[in-house]
Amino acid sequence: MRILYVATDQRVPGFDGGAAHVSHVATGLANLGHDVHVVAAPGHGKFPSGAVHWYGVSAPLGSSRLRLFCAPAVKRLARAIKPDVVVERYYNFGGEGVLAAQATGAALALEVNAPVVDYPRSPKRILDRMLVVEPLRRWREWQCQVSDLIVTPTAEVLPQWISPERVLEIEWGADTTNFSPSIVGTAPYVRRNDDLVVVFVGAFRAWHGAVNLVRAVRKLRERGYDDVAAVFIGDGPERRRTQQEAEGLERVTFFGRVPHDQIPSYLVAADVGIAPFDILAHPPLSLTFYWSPLKIFEYMAAGLPVVTPDIPRLRRIYRDGEVESSSMGSAHPCIITPGKSPISVGLTLRRIGINMFQNISGFG
């Protein structure tokens, strides 16, 4: 099939999960034999090479809230490409892919990775009610209504009136051609032979909880465990705060932004992957944990055991302390922390450090 994938709110190439997601979904579809065309905002450097056709379209002022103004350009592309299917990466202020599908008669798949329904006390909900006719709700529900298929990690973020037959619930996973325990090469950082190296990869948003990993390491040091080192990869609003929290701690290293294709070497040189999500720091997560957590899948694909808070939806992926089969074709141990406090995270890290080298072979 000829597929037009519309994701104009994502800068490709980029340094966040959204950019990696768009690139890998497009490449995965192309690898299945489809003729894939992607509309995205130009990012840091050239678009990826390969079988996928890329088109740079940016929203005015670079604002995702003005994304709908890209509709004329997307429609022109759609009429030229003549796709069989249009896939739009859903955004409340988007819809240009939806309009392009209607203009060309193509089938429409809506990729939903964020809530269509409002969470309690949502500013958008308050604004909608002030406008009386609720234009934001009407617009996003219309996008769902005209879609032939809705693809989402969890249907809990969708309006209840949507028929289950039109919904495909799926986790997105990782690119196992790049993320694998078998990657060899020189470690991109220095580590002591007796260290347990834990790694965090992320965009340093408040809800990523990176600061909690620093606090856990500090607690371990206070208890006399000096063999835990931490590596942080990425950049974002919380990086400065996290680095300030780490002042005075040796062997806690911040690498900043790293190109996505280089991240596998950082992971395989570590021992444990950390995803210390803080769901209380992001009000929309009061609905449910609606993301398909890229970092967790990439940790697993690299052969790392994972530490993450005990969030119910993540138990679809793995269970506490068990080795769980996954769609990536192999099994990896994933361990969930028994609580959210830094000390419980720290004690769990120590437990992994003891158990993984005694009982787990072939991982890390």
- Distance of alpha carbon 162 from alpha carbon 169, whole angstroms: 13
Give the 3-state secondary structure percentages of the chain, helix then strand then coil, rounded to 5: 40, 20, 40
Largest CA distance in the chain: 66
Identity of the amino acid at 342: P
Q: Each residue of 76-107: pLDDT tens digit?
A: 999 999 999 999 999 989 999 999 999 999 99
Taking the C-alpha atoms of residue 114 and residue 363, their distance in angstroms, rounded to an integer, is 33
Please write the tens of the pLDDT for every residue from 266-294.
999 999 999 999 999 999 999 999 988 99
Say whether both 162 and 263 belong to one domain. no
- The answer to whether residue 181 sits within a structural domain is no
pLDDT at 327: 36
Q: At what angle do helices 210-222 and 342-359 cross, to 10 degrees?
A: 80
Task: Kindly list the distances between the CA atom of residue 107 and the CA atoms of 146, 164, 349, in Å, as whole numbers in the listed order.
Answer: 10, 18, 48
164-175 average pLDDT score: 92
31 and 90 inside one domain = yes
Q: Which domain holds residue 240?
A: 196-359
User: pTM for the complete prediction?
Assistant: 0.85
Percent with pLDDT over 90 in the chain: 62
Quote the percentage of the chain above a pLDDT of 70: 87
Mean pLDDT of 43-47: 90
Confirm whether 187 is domain-assigned: no
Same domain for 114 and 233, yes or no, is: no
Query: What average pLDDT does the segment 20-39 reach?
Result: 95
Would you state the pLDDT for residue 12? 94
Q: Specify the pLDDT at position 44.
A: 85
Q: Is residue 183 part of a domain?
A: no
Do 240 and 297 fall within a single domain?
Answer: yes
The CATH number of the domain holding residue 292 is: 3.40.50.2000
Verify that 133 and 273 share a domain, yes or no. Answer: no
Q: Is residue 185 part of a domain?
A: no
In a domain, 100, yes or no: yes
Residues 222 and 120 in one domain: no
The pLDDT value recorded for residue 360 is: 34
Q: Is 33 helix (H, G, I), strand (E, B) or coil?
A: coil
The b-or-e profile of 325-354 (16+ CB within 10 A means b, else e) is ebebeeebbbbbbeebebebbbbbbbebbe
Handedness of CA 154, 158, 159, 161 (dihedral sign): negative
Structure tokens at 230: 């931490």
103-121 pLDDT, tens digit each: 999 999 999 999 999 988 8
Q: What digits encode the pLDDT tens for the residues 218-258? A: 999 998 888 899 999 999 999 999 999 999 999 999 999 99
Is the C-alpha dihedral spanning 155, 4, 107, 27 positive or negative?
negative
pLDDT value of position 323? 41
The total number of structural domains in the chain stands at: 2
Among residues 278, 268, 267, the alpha carbon closest in space to that of 242 is found at 278
With respect to residue 99, please indicate whether it lies within any of the assigned structural domains: yes
Residue ending a domain, among 110, 134, 169, is 169
Per-residue pLDDT at 324: 39
Nearest to 100 by CA among 69, 73, 131, 130: 73
More confident residue, 324 or 70: 70
The whole-chain average pLDDT of the chain stands at 87
pLDDT band, residue 193 (cuts 50/70/90): confident
Q: Which residues contact 236 (CB under 8 A, 6 or more apart)?
A: 202, 203, 204, 205, 208
pLDDT given at position 156: 94
User: Are 304 and 205 in a shared domain?
Assistant: yes
Residue 125 has pLDDT above 90, yes or no: no
Q: In which band, very low, low, confident or very high, does the pLDDT at 343 lie, cut at 50, 70 and 90? A: low
Residue 341 has pLDDT above 60, yes or no: no
Query: Residue 182: inside a domain, yes or no?
Result: no
Highest average pLDDT, of 145-154, 272-281, 314-323, comes from 145-154
Residue 17: per-residue pLDDT: 86
Asked if residue 62 belongs to a domain, the reply is yes
Confidence label for 342 from pLDDT (cuts 50, 70 and 90): low
Q: Radius of gyration of the chain from Cα atoms?
A: 21
Determine the average pLDDT of the residues in 159-175.
93
What is residue 77's predicted lDDT score, i.e. its pLDDT?
A: 97
- Asked whether the CA dihedral 52, 53, 54, 57 is positive or negative, the reply is negative
DSSP state of 49: P
- Asked if 217 and 153 sit in the same domain, the reply is no
Q: Which of 169, 186, 221 delimits the end of a domain?
A: 169
154 and 229 housed in the same domain: no
Identify whether the C-beta of residue 91 lies closer than 8 Å to the C-beta of residue 18. no
- Structure tokens belonging to residue 76: 């022109």
Residues 200 and 163 in one domain: no
196-201, strands of its sheet edge to edge: 252-254, 228-233, 196-201, 272-274, 306-308, 331-336, 322-325
Note whether 141 and 229 are same-domain residues.
no
Q: Are residues 31 and 163 in the same domain?
A: yes
